[in-house]
């Protein structure tokens, strides 16, 4: 399930709940909630980044997770964004606002949460 959280700070996010992860192999939950900032100018501007709750032990083991890209408050929790850029050189296709959006970004999040180092 995904929902827009307009009162997130510093800007709105989409909150994806219960995204399947590979976390069980490292002793964490098999599902994670993930936030993705809504970029200024969306849908023309590409969706970029993803975050887990601050202190989540999975975060430093994920691509870009050790590179803090900022903090957010949403859904009564604190979040840390990772340097994760699937549409900007991170393995996904180039951004096309006519094809991609928050409805397709979930595929990238599932893949991200399964590439654990």
What is the model's pLDDT at position 2?
A: 96
Give tens-digit pLDDT for 4-42. 999 999 999 999 999 999 988 888 889 999 999 999 999
Give tens-digit pLDDT for 83-110. 999 988 778 888 999 999 999 999 999 9
What is the model's pLDDT at position 52?
A: 97
What is the model's pLDDT at position 20?
A: 97
3-class state of residue 4 by DSSP: strand
Contacts of 53 (CB under 8 A, 6+ apart): 33, 77, 78, 79, 80
Q: Among all chains, which residue has been given the structure tokens 């393995």?
A: 91
Give tens-digit pLDDT for 54-80. 999 999 999 999 999 999 999 999 999
pTM assigned to the model: 0.94
> Using CA atoms, how far apart are residues 69 and 90, in angstroms rounded to an integer?
15
Direct distance between the N- and C-terminal alpha carbons of the chain, in angstroms, rounded to an integer: 26
The full DSSP string for 52-81 is EETT-TTGGGBTTTTS---EEEETTEEEEE
Burial profile 99-114: b = 16 or more Cβ within 10 angstroms, e = fewer: ebeeeebbebbeebbe
Q: Tell me what the mean pLDDT of segment 34-55 comes to.
A: 96
Give tens-digit pLDDT for 30-39. 999 999 999 9
Burial class (CB in 10 A: 0-12, 13-18, 19+), 13: buried
């Amino acid at each position: 399930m995904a929902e827009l959280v307009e009162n997130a700070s510093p800007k709105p996010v989409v909150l994806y709940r219960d995204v399947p992860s590979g976390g069980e192999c490292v002793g964490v939950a098999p599902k994670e909630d993930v936030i993705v900032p809504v970029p200024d100018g969306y849908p023309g501007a590409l969706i970029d980044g993803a975050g887990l709750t601050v202190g989540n032990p999975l975060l430093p083991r994920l691509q870009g997770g050790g590179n803090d890209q900022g903090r957010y408050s949403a859904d009564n929790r604190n979040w840390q964004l990772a340097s994760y850029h699937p549409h900007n050189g991170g393995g996904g296709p180039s951004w096309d606002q006519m094809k991609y959006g928050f409805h397709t970004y979930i595929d990238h999040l599932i893949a991200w949460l399964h590439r654990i180092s």
